[in-house]
Chain A
Amino acid sequence: MADPQSPGVIRAGCPLAAVAACRGRMEPAASTSPSGLVLLFAELRAELVRFLAARTGSPADAEDLAQELWLRIQGVQPGPIGNGRAYLYRAAQNLVLDQVRERRRREAREAHWHAAAAASADGEVIDSGPDALDAMIERERDVALARAIEGLPEGAGRVFRLHKLEGLSHSDIAARLGISRSGVEKHVAVAMAHLRRAMGTEV
């Protein structure tokens, strides 16, 4: 069920107003007011749509998502928003990611559904529980991911763990290890590419 208005429904993403806090990527500071955000959106609309089109590969989706973004920022409660432009881009980014996540989940479920339907061709017995299967697949992926993290190459793995598991910032790690900040980013990126290869596309 995908209706966020309904009771009892787990929504995959974060409410947009809370999206930055949810993802831990928003530095609060005071400048742009909510109405300022709407004005800024109008000013940046063309570049946001271009970004969304590049991000989704679909100009039509880009228009829909821009509309969605505009609607969502109407509801943003008054409060400090540091960099309005970055906020809008990150919010747009999160809308795309919600869509991608939902699409991949749907594809996985459809594949499962077809498999279950084929298994019930005798018309008597149908599937024994996609929810349980979903949960099992999720857990297997988590275990595979934990193994892949264990198997990371030494340098990249160390930086990756400090950043992702211990929660140190890029600059903290740079200071601690005596390397540049971009060096830290590079290590984390190498680790991510390793993990991606270890996990295949099924993330």
Chain B
Amino acid sequence: MNDDIHEMAAVWLQAQARDDMDWQAFTSWLEADPRHREAFDDVALLDERVDGLRDELARDHAANDLDGDVDGVAVHGRGRLWRWGGAAAAAGIILAVGGAWLSKPVVEPVTYAAATGVNRNVAVADGLSATVSGGSRLTVRGAGRLSLQGSAFFDVRHDPSRAVVVDVSGYEIRDVGTRFEVASDGVSVRVAVTQGAVSLRAPGSASPVRVDAGYAATGGADGQVRLVRTDVTAVGGWRSGRFVYDRVPLSLVAADISRFTGEPVRTESTVGGQTFSGVLARGSRDSMVESLRQLAGVRTRREGDAILLGPDPRR
């Protein structure tokens, strides 16, 4: 596309600031050639981009003026943008995360907390809903960024224009259209996928692990991710009154009971990583722990307010 068309488009764009803008003549100009429309799109978006950078550019501009370049025309010094550009060239692509000066406006985070023992359904956005389990909290930080404390089941409609990212226990789960369950206890996480696939990235790791439907991934405090097959009908069972486990670390089972009942249940480190398969009915902490004790073959003892799960010496 040649400059002439873009120049004309830019003249039309500026004319719109005026109350005597001839909108019908503009319409006729657009109708005369489909390239006019595209040129106008280009110029209007470029204009927005310049406006978005104005403060930063004006600072550079003013700094240059102070350097003695009164018209700001001939020679330009190196303001902040330039330093950033040089650094970017030197450091490769890592800088995307750095410097906040150009960051877009941030929407206030919204937190959905589910009361003890009561699951909460949340329509996060069009095509993205979640069931937050009792005692858990889901925070929506905007632009598809969520963080979770506790457990939740997510249902994400496929939409190629967005990714949904869940931060949990330092891990990052990334998804573009699936149904999956997340359980966490602050340091470890378990993701079970019933449909589609998600990626799970351990803290500090560059290479995420892909978790397909029918699999569950467990990530521990050590940053190691383990994949196991899982029964998809068991995933998210807690939403209908049963906690269904398929090789889930005991520490996460204990975290589920704590959150659900609002009373602490912990594991000794020697059994926390031991996995449990079975079904616990919703109930009081004591009844859930008793079921778990029998099914998992662990010993229970009280420690202050908490019930502590430890190894059964008879086994």
Complex Cα distance A106/B197, Å? 21
Q: Looking at the complex, which one of B11, B54, B84, B104 makes contact with A164 (CB distance below 8 Å)?
A: B54
Residues of A close to B93: CB separation below 8 A: 136
Contacts of A2 in B (CB 8 A): 125-126, 161-162
A147-163: CB near B (< 8 Å → 1, else 0) gives 10110001001100100
Q: Which of B29-37, B183-191, B288-296, B302-310 contacts A (4 or more CB under 8 A)?
A: B29-37
Q: Which residue of A lies closest to B104 (CB)?
A: A10
Secondary structure of the A contact surface, majority rule: helix
Least Cβ distance of A144 to chain B in Å?
A: 9
CB within 8 Å of B: which of A185-199? 185-186, 188-190, 192-197, 199
- What are the residues of chain B within 8 A of A192 when measuring CB–CB? 6-7, 9-10, 13, 43, 46-47
CB interface residues, A 122-166, toward B, < 8 Å: 123-133, 135-136, 138-143, 145-147, 149-150, 154, 157-158, 161, 164-166
With a cutoff of 8 Å between Cβ atoms, the chain B residues found around residue A97 in the complex are 41, 44-45, 48
Tell whether, in the assembled complex, residue A25 and residue B16 are in contact, meaning their CB atoms are under 8 Å apart: yes
Stretch among B17-25, B259-267, B270-278 lining the A interface? B17-25
- At the interface, yes or no: B53 with Cβ under 8 Å from chain A? yes
Contact with A along B94-112 (1 / 0, CB 8 A): 0111000010111111100
Q: Is the CB of B54 within 8 A of A196?
A: no
Chain B residue with the shortest CB-CB distance to A192: B10
The answer to whether A157 and B105 touch (CB under 8 A), given A8-B140, A27-B19, A139-B96, is no
**Stretch touching chain B among A33-41, A69-77, A82-90:** A82-90
Q: Is the CB of B73 within 8 A of A158?
A: yes
Asked whether, in the complex, the Cβ of A125 is within 8 Å of the Cβ of B207, the reply is yes
Contact (Cβ within 8 A) A89 B42: no
Q: Write the nearest CB–CB distance from B217 to chain A, whole angstroms.
A: 12
Least CB distance, B174 to chain A, in whole angstroms: 8
Query: Is the Cβ of B27 less than 8 Å from the Cβ of A47?
Result: yes
Pick the contact of B206 from A124, A128, A135, A196 — CB < 8 Å? A128
A139 with B34: CB separation less than 8 A? no
Inter-subunit contact A185/B107 (CB<8 Å)? no
For the complex, give the distance between the alpha carbons of A139 and B17 in Å. 28
How many chain A residues have a CB neighbour from B under 8 Å?
81
How many of chain B's residues have a CB under 8 angstroms from any CB in A? 93
Judge whether A78 is part of the interface by a CB distance below 8 angstroms.
Answer: no
> In the complex, what distance in Å separates the CA atom of A131 from the CA atom of B165?
9
Contact A113 B176 (CB under 8 A): yes
Q: Is the CB of B23 within 8 A of A51?
A: yes
Which chain B residue lies CB-closest to A153? Answer: B73
User: Cβ of A21 < 8 Å from any Cβ of B?
Assistant: no
CB distance from A33 to the nearest CB of B (A): 18
Partner of A158, one of B44, B58, B71, B207: B71
A146 and B210 within 8 A (CB): no
B72 at the interface (CB under 8 A from A): yes
Contact B142 A10 (CB under 8 A): yes
Q: List 10 A-B contacts (CB under 8 A).
A: A10-B105, A51-B24, A54-B30, A120-B210, A141-B49, A147-B85, A150-B76, A165-B58, A165-B61, A166-B61
Task: Other than A10-B105, A113-B176, give 13 A-B pairs with Cβ distance below 8 A.
Answer: A8-B109, A8-B142, A9-B125, A25-B17, A109-B160, A127-B208, A145-B50, A161-B73, A186-B7, A192-B7, A193-B7, A193-B43, A197-B3
